[in-house]
Structure 1
Amino acid sequence: MTTTMPELSTVDVVMVVVPFPAQGHLNQLLHFCHFVCSYDIPVHFIGSITHNRQVRSRLHGWNPVAFPNLQFHDFPIPAYAVPPPDPHSSIKFPSHLQPAFDAALLHLRPHLSLLIKSLSGITTRVIVVHDSLMSFAANLSADLSNVESYAFHSVSAFATLLFQWESRGIMMEQSMKICPNVPVVSSDGCFTSDFVEFVKRQHKLTAAGNGRIINTCRPIEAKFIDLFAKEPNLQNKPLFAIGPLNPVTLEEHDKVEDVNLNLVPRKRHECLRWLDKQPESSVIYISFGTTSTLCCRQINELSAGLDRSQMKFLWVPREADKGDIFEGECFSSSVSEDEATNKKSSAVSTLATKGKGIVLRGWAPQLEILGHPAVGCFMTHCGWNSCIESMSFGVPMAAWPLHSEQPRCAVLVTEILRVGIPVRDWGRRDEIVTAENIESVIKRLMLSSEGNEVRSRAKSLGSSIRQATFDGGDSKKEFESFISHICRP
């Protein structure tokens, strides 16, 4: 599909996209490339061999093969040691991935610099869109007159604002002014100290750019988008709120890429066939993303809570990603692999044999699951990808934040938009969430009048979000404005 815009100039424009090497970030920027390519703009997607393979193999909703103007640059990165995830760590942030983040910053730089310089010599204008955590890319192009850089924010405007305000020491004052009845969540417990320093180094470079892009939309957080646009470090540069970038309608393709990036006939996932047999809005979908690992005790409590609720479920009890997801499974170093596997598998398998649900090992087609009418609730870690995908399909959330922006996204979901109910109290994050609490939240969402109201708000918000992406909608107009801006004479 190619989008035509007669008002665009014929200026020769090419785009370079630089994602942060974590699944949630990679996924959003690859979806972004889909939209840009539909305007016949050549796009160069930059990454390591492993991470490019990862994001392509996990993509749902569209097929990159359909866009010959999308080119992946698989740059080599020397081997580096990555420890296994530790589910018993007091801070749940995936510190085991820090070596992968550091390696990408160090080793992608020379390859990216050469590519940008090469393209700038043969193209009227080069547009570099980089994750806000990869802001070194803006500096690489600062001395080239025909290169522009735009920072891409992969979390909500609400969470981004809180991070900005906290860094300037005004979070409490601003939060009380803007959202007086909403809990104020600091970043304590959200990140490791190493990652905080990593972020600070990158954010110091962000201001050098030509504008910002954020994966959100006005139906979700118009007030916070407007506030973010006025932040001093944007320096009056344009802000484009173009979300959601995930597909909001699911297209069928005759062929897809398998994990080895070969074209194979498309097969509908087995879990979708199971969902076909379930009543509407009767199933709880449970997934905690790609960077989180629950400890054995917490998995046992979750299993017991699901069992007590007597609700249908689809659970994806996966381990956190390693630096290279294709090397196989890994488990906490605090116990042997066999012991960890057996403990977790036992609790989950016992629950699955009772016939109330299915347990899905490996990668799940989340967009298709959330878009299925049988799904009535999403128990989620509240990563922004999962939040905006769930909202896009009008599915209410049981909010269980674990790290990063997730506690603030959970506040947005449960306190501001009121399209979810909290499972995990962030103030008691060091405690195990009990089976009783899990059962209570599930029943509140699925069986009570309170849950009916939450579901109604979620459904209404989903409709507004989808409308925003269609012709004439706010997000569609924002994306067209961005394309017009970068293609201006």
Structure 2
Amino acid sequence: MAKTSHIVVVSIPSFSHQSSIIEFCKRFIHLHHNIHVTCIFPIIDAPIQATLKLLESLPPSINYTFLPPINQQDLPQDGVTQIQLAVAQSMPSFRNSLQSLCSTNPVVALVADPLASQALEIAKEFNLLSFIYYPLSAMTTSLHLHLSTLHEQISCDYIDHPNPIRIPGCIPIHGQDLPGDFFHHRSSIAYKLFLQHSKNFSLANGLLVNTFSEMEESTIKALQEKYNTIENNTEVYLVGPIIQSGSESTKLKGSDCEKWLDKQKPNSVLFVCFGSGGTLSQEQLNELAFGLELSSVKFLWVLREPSNSSYVGPYSVGSDDAILKFLPHGFLERTKEQGLVVPFWAPQTQILSHTSTGGFLTHCGWNSILESVVFGVPMITWPLFGEQRMNAILLTEGLEVGLKVKFNDNGIADRNEIAEVIRALMLSEERSEIQQRIEALKDAATSALAEDGSSSRALSQFGIRMENLMLEK
């Protein structure tokens, strides 16, 4: 009987990261039946409910475990700092868990989220090869890997740097468009923690990046030229596009969303959703509502409660009636023939794949972008936090498959601006050109995911490397 290779995967307390790495594991073991995976999740207070739902669809060769919870009351309120500190405080428990796994079922390698880079150090203690799984763009990956160099080159806060910042293989980026959570203030705890992560990345024996060559050609070329060398012995595996599947796939069928979408014309509906954690202020929510109404375009809007923070965490729970009260007075009545408002959550991949969906107003999270590309849906970019400004620039200036919403000096997009960009994406002559470009990307994504496609080949190469490690043990 063939030996079973066992790899350990560690993520962070963020649904977008957890969902991506879970889907990576499912796709990976689908191609490699002799490999067993254990997913380890640090948590803050309790497991994320949406993650628990995804874990219900795991095949038998993937196990998971949650580390002892870190008390949110003992952490700062800033989301990025909170996550990084929670992961750091979970590392002793992670080491114990890894030691237990190694003693019962020999582990050959570790795959870690970039914000769990401390695990790479622990992997060396156990003589394991280690890899970083990037649930992010190659552009963001290149920034992460180049940060130590940038830190030496630029002495001021990046937001104050007068010239565009050059990241290998990428469109030049202004400092204000770098992830504000990390990069706007070098004195912040978040930045100092992330700088340490960037120094740990050199410990990895390879990079698994959730993208494909046609999506980010020049950036991928720069990464491969730097890392795919005999001297460096660090391989770059392009394993994307990996998007959500499985447990979500049946949730549209028979729902109000499906019934409403089925009544609409092909490519006529704008899907509006800010991901699993994004939210708007009450003022901005009002302007978006009026903008949708003014556009006269059909829309399906996933509504979340307003907040002065752009991130409130995944999938709020509450009364549908209570959240609908945040909408402007009379909005639902005036738009009852034009749109559908869905409280809290909707099955995004299924909506994007529906023939009636013709546009996507998105916060530009990488998971959402890949889903839109896979189904060939043009985008309106509305970045909120993290690396989303960089992603928006890639979409609008690099790939030219989306249009951007413009914000005023107070950081608000007004209703007229919103209505204008919606009509431009959905109704103008410009739409056909954008549609052609994203259809080409869709075809490339389909080819990458094919049995002999680039993503499948990369996963096969990585799997063979894992199997060979087992034979050496």
The TM-score, its normalising length taken from structure 1, stands at 0.81
Query: Residue 438 of structure 2 corresponds to which residue in structure 1?
Result: 458
Distance of 2:170 and 2:219 partners within structure 1: 10
Matched, 1:271 2:257: yes
Choose from 23, 33, 50 the match for 2:15.
23
Distance of 2:379 and 2:240 partners within structure 1: 19
Contact in 1 for aligned 2:9/2:37 (Cα 8 Å)? yes
Secondary structure of the 1:105 match is: helix
Secondary structure of the 1:207 match is: helix
Matched, 1:222 2:202: no
Query: Residue 196 of structure 1 corresponds to which residue in structure 2?
Result: 191
Q: Percent identity?
A: 29
Distance of 1:50 and 1:325 partners within structure 2: 14
Write out per-residue CA displacement over residues 213-268 of structure 1, whole angstroms, 9 at most, x where no aligned residue: 11101121122112123347994411111001115899966xx9xxxxxxxxx964
Distance of 1:179 and 1:69 partners within structure 2: 38
Residues 350 and 162 of structure 1: CA distance in aligned 2, closer, same or farther (over 3 Å)? same
Contact in 2 for aligned 1:131/1:153 (Cα 8 Å)? yes
Query: Residue 50 of structure 2 corresponds to which residue in structure 1?
Result: 54
Secondary structure of the 1:71 match is: strand
Query: Residue 154 of structure 1 corresponds to which residue in structure 2?
Result: 135
Secondary structure of the 1:345 match is: coil
Residues 224 and 71 of structure 1: CA distance in aligned 2, closer, same or farther (over 3 Å)? same
**How far off its partner does 1:387 sit?**
0.8
Q: Give matches, 1:85-164, under 5 Å.
A: 95-96=78-79, 98-106=81-89, 108-145=90-127, 147-164=128-145
Choose from 389, 402, 416 the match for 1:407.
389
Contact in 1 for aligned 2:405/2:418 (Cα 8 Å)? yes
Query: Residue 379 of structure 1 corresponds to which residue in structure 2?
Result: 361
- Number of residue-to-residue matches in the alignment: 442
Distance of 1:23 and 1:196 partners within structure 2: 21
Residues 301 and 322 of structure 1: CA distance in aligned 2, closer, same or farther (over 3 Å)? closer
**How far off its partner does 1:206 sit?**
2.2
Choose from 432, 437, 449 the match for 2:412.
432
Query: Residue 38 of structure 2 corresponds to which residue in structure 1?
Result: 44
Distance of 1:462 and 1:443 partners within structure 2: 23
Distance of 1:233 and 1:349 partners within structure 2: 55
Query: Residue 235 of structure 2 corresponds to which residue in structure 1?
Result: 238
**How far off its partner does 1:173 sit?**
7.7
Write out per-residue CA displacement over residues 156-201 of structure 1, whole angstroms, 9 at most, x where no aligned residue: 1123324544542369688499567x66455556215332223223
Contact in 2 for aligned 1:64/1:70 (Cα 8 Å)? no
Residues 54 and 381 of structure 1: CA distance in aligned 2, closer, same or farther (over 3 Å)? same
Greater Cα offset, 428-437 or 403-412: 428-437
User: Structure 1: 5+ residue runs without aligned partners?
Assistant: 1-8, 85-93, 257-265, 331-337
Residues 473 and 102 of structure 1: CA distance in aligned 2, closer, same or farther (over 3 Å)? same
Contact in 2 for aligned 1:316/1:361 (Cα 8 Å)? yes
Query: Residue 168 of structure 1 corresponds to which residue in structure 2?
Result: 149
Distance of 1:318 and 1:251 partners within structure 2: 19
Distance of 1:355 and 1:22 partners within structure 2: 37
Greater Cα offset, 278-287 or 147-156: 147-156
**How far off its partner does 1:152 sit?**
1.2
Distance of 1:305 and 1:159 partners within structure 2: 31
Q: Give matches, 1:278-293, under 5 Å.
A: 278-293=264-279
Distance of 2:115 and 2:98 partners within structure 1: 19
Choose from 296, 299, 305 the match for 2:291.
305
Distance of 2:2 and 2:330 partners within structure 1: 57
User: Using CA pairs below 8 Å that are at least 6 residues apart, which structure has the higher relative contact order?
Assistant: 1
Query: Residue 467 of structure 1 corresponds to which residue in structure 2?
Result: 447
User: Structure 2: 5+ residue runs without aligned partners?
Assistant: 155-162, 183-187
Matched, 1:393 2:375: yes
Residues 12 and 466 of structure 1: CA distance in aligned 2, closer, same or farther (over 3 Å)? same
Distance of 1:13 and 1:458 partners within structure 2: 39
**How far off its partner does 1:126 sit?**
2.5
Secondary structure of the 2:125 match is: coil
Write out per-residue CA displacement over residues 426-483 of structure 1, whole angstroms, 9 at most, x where no aligned residue: xx67421111111111111111111111012112211211111011111111111111
Contact in 1 for aligned 2:265/2:356 (Cα 8 Å)? yes
Greater Cα offset, 193-202 or 298-307: 193-202
Letter in 2 for 1:190: G
Write out per-residue CA displacement over residues 88-118 of structure 1, whole angstroms, 9 at most, x where no aligned residue: xxxxxx8246435422431x32332122222
Distance of 1:417 and 1:152 partners within structure 2: 24
